[in-house]
Chain A
Amino acid sequence: MTNTGFRKVLRRREFTVLGLIVLLVVLFSLTTERFMSVSNLSNLLLQLAGTAISAIGMTMVIITGGIDVSVGSTLGMASVVAGKLLVGGYSPFLVLLSALGTGLVIGLFNGTLIAFGNVPPIIVTLGMMSILRSLMYQLLGGRWISGIPPAIRVIGLGKWLGVPISMWITVVLIAFFTYFLSSRPLGRAIYAVGNNPEAARVSGIDLRRTTLFVYAILGALAGFAGLVYVARTGIVQTNTGSGFELEVIAAVVLGGTSILGGRGTIIGSLLGAFLVGIIKNGMVLLNVPALSEGLVVGVLIILSVMIDVIRARGERS
C-alpha cells in the first residue's frame, strides 16, 4: 500500500520537474561560478515572483480547459497605470488597488466574452493582447515611465530574512489558492468544469460563473504582477510584459497542468516557473545567445503537452 503510494508520488509530474530542477542546479553550479552566488539566486527569485503569481491564475484557467494569452499585456497595462499614478505621487495603497483593478477589469472582460459570448478563449485573449498593447502605446506615447518613488520599490526589491518580499507574497498567495483549489467547493468546481463540462452543468455547477471567476482572478493576479514589475525594475516601456505570457503558460504546462483541462496543481506551476527561470538564468550565465532561450522554452512546452496528450490517449483506450 505504501509502496503504491510512493510510486504514485514518483509518477507525478511535480516530481519529474523537481528532479529536473535539481539536475539543472547541479549542472549550472558546476559549469558557472556565479550561479550559486547569493546575488544571482536572489535576482532569480525576484524575477520569478511575477511569473509565479500570474501562474497561479493561469493554472486555474487552464484547469477549466481555457487559456489566456493576454496576461503579458495585462501585466504591461497594469504597470503603465501603476507607473503613471506612482510618478503622479498617489498613495501606494491607491496604486495597489488600481493595478489590481486594471487587471480585474481586463480579466472580467475576457471572462465575460468567453463565458457569456461563447467566443473561444484563444481568440478573445489574442484580441485582448493586441488591443492592450496598442492602448499602452497610446498612453505612453512612445516614452518610458521612470522615476518611480523609492518607497514603493520595497515590494519589488526589499527582502525579509534574506528572501525577497515579493517571494513572500507569492508564497502566501500560493498557499491560499492551493487551499482554495483543494478544499473549497468553488475550487473543486473548477476541476469539474474542465474535466467534464456537461456533467458539471447537470450537477448544477454554474459553468459561466466559474469561467468568469477564473479569468477575473488571473487578470487581478497579472495586474498585481504588473505592480511588482514596476517596483522591481523602476521602468515601464511599451513592450513591458511582452513574451511574458509564454513564460507563464510554460510554467503551468511544465508543472503538469493538463492543457486538456481537469488536472493540475499550483505547486506544480510554481515548480514549472522555477524550471523556466533557472533555464533562462543559467543560459544567460553560460553566455548562450538569447535566441536559444526561447528555443528551449518552446521545445519544453511542446514536449510536455505531447506527454500530456499521449497520456490522455492511453487512458481512453
Chain B
Amino acid sequence: MEYILECRKIFKSFGGVQALRGVDFTLRSGEVHALVGENGAGKSTLIKIISGALLPDRGDIFYMGQPVRIDSPRKAQEIGISTVYQEPLVYSELSVLENIFLGREIRTPWGNIDWKREEEQARSLFASLGLPHHFLREPMGELSVGLQQLVLIAKALVYEAKVIIFDEPTAILTEHETERLFTIIRKLRDQGVGIIYISHRLEEIFRIADRVTVMRDGEVRGEFPITAVDRAKIVELMAGKLLVEEIARRGVKGDHPLLSVQGLTRRPRFFDISFDLFPGEILGFFGLVGSGRTDVAQTIFGLFRPESGKVFFDGREVSFGSPEEAMQAGIAYLPEDRKVQGLFPIQSVAYNISVAILRELVRRLGIVDVRKERDIAEKHIRELNIKTPNLKTRVYSLSGGNQQKVVLAKWLSVTPKLLILDEPTRGIDVASKSEIHNLIAHLADQGLAIMVISSELPEILKMSDRVIVMHEGRITGVFEGPEKTAENIIRAATGERMAVTGGVGV
C-alpha cells in the first residue's frame, strides 16, 4: 500500500457547474501534501468529498488500500480522517475536555461519561504534542483561537486520525501560534499521519509541505515534490498566467496632508502614534496581528476614543465620537472581517452597495429612489468588475473576491476622501487579489488618500508608497523608496526600532 488515501477520477457538479472534472489526488502516511488553487478551483469541493460532507458524482476513493464510501463527516472521523477548519468549530461554553471527546465519550460501565479517564487521555495527548494541559477543565471560549485549533488537533488524535486535513489553519493565527502549529504538524507527520494542507499563503507551503498539488477550474494542473517547484511556477499554474507583482502608479501625491495624526495613544493598544497621509498616497501599515494597526485605524474612524493625541483631518482638528461622524467627514473604513462587519449576506448586491447612502437616495415622502440605487450599483459593478449574475443576486452566493469588491463598492459609494482598508484581500484568490490591488492603485491615482493594513508582506510591498511598521503598539519604522525593503520591514515588525527615514511628521 503506497498511499493511505487515493482519489481517482473524482467528478462532482452542482447544478450545471462542473466543480471537479476527474481529479486524482494521493496522500502517503507521514507526508504533508499541500493543496493550492484559487477560490473556485475545486479544492474545497475535493476536501468536502474526502471529509464526508459531500458525495462525488463519479470516481473512486481508496483508503488504506480499500475502496470506501465516505457518506458523512462522522464516517470520515470514524475511519480516521479528521478536518481542522479555518475558523475552529468549537463549543465555547463547554470545557476543553468535552470539546475533545464530544461524540466519542469514554464511558463507565454504567454508560456515564468517564471524566477521569478522559482527562488522563487528554493529558497524555497534550504531553505528546508538547502542549500545556492545565486548561482542560476551562471553558473552550477562554482559550485563544490558536490554542482552540490545537485542541481540535488533539481531538483528531482521539479519533486516531491517520489523515488530518488543515483548511487554511494559519489565516487567523499570530506569528507565534503559526510557528507552534508548524512544529506540531511536523511532529504529526513524523508519527506517520498523512496531512493535507490548504493555504493561500504560498510561503507557508514552502516551509511545511513535502508535495504540492495545484488545482484550477476543477482539475489538477500540476503535482510536484516541493523541492522541484518554485513560487512563480505555482502562481502561474494557479492563475493560468503569470501575475505581475509590480503595480503601475501615476504618483499624484498632494502637497498638504489630508490626515495628520499626532501622538495618538490608547493604552494598552497603541502609544504615541504620529504620521501624515497625503491625498493620492497609499500608506501601508504592516505588523503582526495584535501590533495595534487595526486599533489605530478604528480609533481614527471613531469606533474608540483615544486617551490622548490629536487627529487633523482635511485641515481641522477632529475627534469623531462615532463612525457616522467619521463617514460624514469623508472617511470610509473597510473592516477586516467582511462577513461580520461589512456585508448583509442574504441581501442583494444592489442593497449592499447602496446601504451606506440610503439617506441620499431618499426621494419625497421618504421613499428610496430605486432607479438611482440601481444606477449607482450598476456603475460600481462595472467599475470594480464585480462578477455577479445580476443586481438582485444575494451576496452570499458570490465568490470571496467578489464579496470583497461589493464591500469596497459600498464604501466608494459614499465618495470618501480617506479610505481605510483593513486586510483587503484576506482569504481571496490570487486573481481577485490582483484585481483589487489594481483598483486600490487606481483610486489613489484619482486623489484618494488610502491607508492599507495588511499582514501580507508582498501585498504591503506591492501596494504602498510608504510603509509604517508597528510592533506591540508602537511605530518601529517608516520606509519609503529604496528603504522600503522586505528585510527592513521584517526587522521593524519583529521589534527592532529602525532609524526613521523619509516621510513627514514622524
Contact A188 B98 (CB under 8 A): yes
Q: Is A237 an interface residue (CB 8 A)?
A: no
**Does A33 sit within 8 A of B, measured CB to CB?**
no
The complex places the Cα of A25 from the Cα of B94 at a distance, in Å, of 34
A293–B149 Cα gap in the complex (Å)?
A: 49
**CB within 8 A of A199: which of B74, B77, B89?**
B89
CB atoms of A198 and B94 under 8 A apart: no
Residue of B at shortest CB range from A182?
A: B113
Docked complex: B37-83 residues within 8 A CB-CB of A: 72-74, 77-78, 83
A195 & B89 in contact (Cβ 8 Å cutoff): no
A contact residues around B89 at 8 Å (CB)? 196, 198-199, 202
Binary interface encoding of chain A residues 170-194 relative to chain B, with 1 for a CB under 8 A from any of its CBs, else 0: 0000000000000111001101100
Task: Pick the contact of B94: A195, A202, A205, A258 (CB < 8 A).
Answer: A195
Whether, in the assembled complex, B92 has its beta carbon less than 8 Å from a beta carbon of chain A, the answer is yes
Q: Which residues of B sit under 8 angstroms from A204, Cβ to Cβ?
A: 72-74, 77-78, 103
Answer yes or no: B102 CB below 8 A from chain A CBs.
yes
Q: Which of B74, B93, B107 contacts A263 (CB 8 A)?
A: B93
- Which residue on A lies nearest to B82, using beta carbons? A202
Q: Given A203-B103, A204-B103, A315-B141: A184 and B112 within 8 A (CB)?
A: yes
Q: Are B107 and A185 in contact (CB under 8 A)?
A: yes
Asked if residues B111 and A205 are in contact (CB atoms below 8 Å), the reply is: no
**Contacts known (A183-B112, A184-B111, A188-B98); A205 close to B103, Cβ less than 8 A:** yes
For B93, the chain A residues whose CB sits under 8 A away are 191, 195, 258, 262-263
* B53 nearest CB neighbor, chain A only: A202
Question: Would B113 and A192 count as touching, CB distance under 8 A?
Answer: no
* B72 (CB) vs chain A CBs: closest residue: A204
Q: Mark B449-475, 1 if CB is under 8 A from A, else 0.
A: 000000000000000000000000000
Number of contacting residues on B, CB 8 A? Answer: 21
Decide if B91 touches A189 in the complex (CB within 8 Å). Answer: no
Shortest beta-carbon distance from B481 to chain A in Å: 39
User: A199 touching B72 by the CB < 8 A rule?
Assistant: no
Determine the interface band of chain A, counting residues with CB < 8 A from chain B: 20 to 34
Contact between chains at A192 and B112 (CB < 8 Å): no
Q: What does the 1/0 interface line of B217-245 toward A look like (CB < 8 Å)?
A: 00000000000000000000000000000
Q: Is B113 within 8 A of A203, CB to CB?
A: no
Decide yes or no whether B204 CB sits under 8 A from chain A.
Answer: no
Docked pose: A199 CA to B113 CA in angstroms: 20
Contacts of B90-146 to chain A: CB distance below 8 A: 90-94, 98, 102-103, 105, 107, 111-113, 141
Alpha-carbon distance between A52 and B89 when the two chains are bound, in angstroms:
34
* A262 lies within 8 A of B92 (CB): yes
Q: Which residues of A contact B94 (CB under 8 A)?
A: 188, 191-192, 195, 262
Known: A185-B105, A188-B98. A196 touches B91 (CB 8 A): yes
Chain B residue nearest to A201 in the complex (CB): B73
Mark interface residues in A147-191 (1 if CB within 8 Å of B CB, else 0). 000000000000000000000000000000000000111001101
Q: Knowing A184-B113, A204-B72, A204-B77 touch, does A199 contact B141 (C-beta < 8 A)?
A: no
User: CB distance B72 to A183 under 8 Å?
Assistant: no
Q: Are A199 and B107 interface neighbours, CB within 8 A?
A: no
From known contacts A184-B112, A184-B113, A204-B74, infer whether A199 and B90 are also in contact, taking CB-CB under 8 Å: yes
Chain B residues with Cβ below 8 Å from A201 are 73
Chain A residues touching B, majority SS: helix
Most buried by A among B92, B98, B105: B92
Decide if A185 touches B113 in the complex (CB within 8 Å).
yes
Main secondary structure of the interface of B (DSSP, over half): loop
Contacts of A184 in B (CB 8 A): 111-113
A183 near B113 with CB under 8 A, answer yes
A188 lies within 8 A of B102 (CB): yes
Verify B91–A195 contact, CB threshold 8 A: yes
For B92, what are the chain A residues with a Cβ–Cβ distance below 8 Å?
195-196, 262, 315
* 1/0 contact string of A203-247 vs chain B (CB within 8 Å): 111000000000000000000000000000000000000000000
Contact of B102 among A183, A189, A198, A258 (CB under 8 A): A189
- Rounded to whole Å, the gap between the CB of B77 and the closest CB of chain A is 7
Give the CA-CA distance A196 to B152 in the complex, in Å: 14
CA distance A2 to B111 in the complex (A): 31
Closest to B340 in A: A316
* Chain A residue at minimum C-beta to C-beta distance from B141: A315
Chain A's closest residue to B140 (CB) is: A195
Q: Which residue of B lies closest to A204 (CB)?
A: B74
Bound-state Cα–Cα, A192 to B105, Å:
13
Give chain A residues whose Cβ lies under 8 Å from the Cβ of B111.
184
Residues of chain A lying within 8 A (CB to CB) of residue B77: 203-204
How many Å lie between the Cα of A204 and that of B82 in the bound state? Answer: 12
Residue from B72, B78, B103, B112 with most neighbouring chain A CB atoms (10 Å):
B103
For B112, the closest partner residue in chain A by CB is: A183
A198 to B92, CA, bound (A): 13
A185, A196, A205: the one within 8 Å of B90 (CB):
A196
Report chain A residues within 8 Å CB of B107: 185
Chain A positions within 8 Å of B105 at CB level? 185, 188
Most buried by A among B74, B91, B92, B93: B93
Chain B nearest CB, measured from A8 CB (Å)? 10
Q: Bound state CA distance, A290 and B103, in angstroms?
A: 49
Cβ of B377 to closest chain A Cβ, rounded Å:
31
Q: Which residue of B lies closest to A261 (CB)?
A: B93
A315 vs B78: C-alpha distance in the bound complex, in angstroms? 33
Using Cβ atoms and an 8 Å threshold, which residues of chain B touch A203? Answer: 73-74, 77, 102-103
Query: What residue of chain A has the Cβ atom nearest to residue B107's Cβ?
Result: A185
Task: Give CA–CA (A262, B92) in the complex, Å.
Answer: 8
| B98 contact set on A, CB distance < 8 A | 188, 191-192
In the complex, chain B residues whose CB is within 8 Å of the CB of A189: 102-103
Instruction: Report the minimum CB–CB distance from B125 to chain A (whole Å).
Output: 17
Determine how close the nearest CB of chain B comes to the CB of A260; give it in whole angstroms: 10
A183-B112, A185-B107, A205-B102 known; A199 and B91 CB under 8 Å? yes
CB proximity of A109 to chain B, nearest CB, Å? 28
C-alpha spacing A203/B107, complex, angstroms: 17
Return chain B residues, CB-CB under 8 Å to A258. 93
A196 to B111, CA, bound (A): 24
CB neighbours (8 Å) of B72 from chain A are 204
B residues less than 8 Å from A263 (CB atoms): 93
Minimum C-beta distance from A246 to chain B (A):
26
Q: Which of B77, B78, B91, B111 has the most CB of A within 10 A?
A: B91
Selected A-B contacts with CB under 8 Å, 6 pairs: A183-B112, A192-B94, A195-B93, A201-B73, A262-B94, A263-B93
Which 8 A-B pairs rank lowest in CB-CB distance, beginning with the nearest?
A: A204-B74, A199-B89, A203-B103, A262-B93, A195-B91, A183-B112, A195-B93, A263-B93
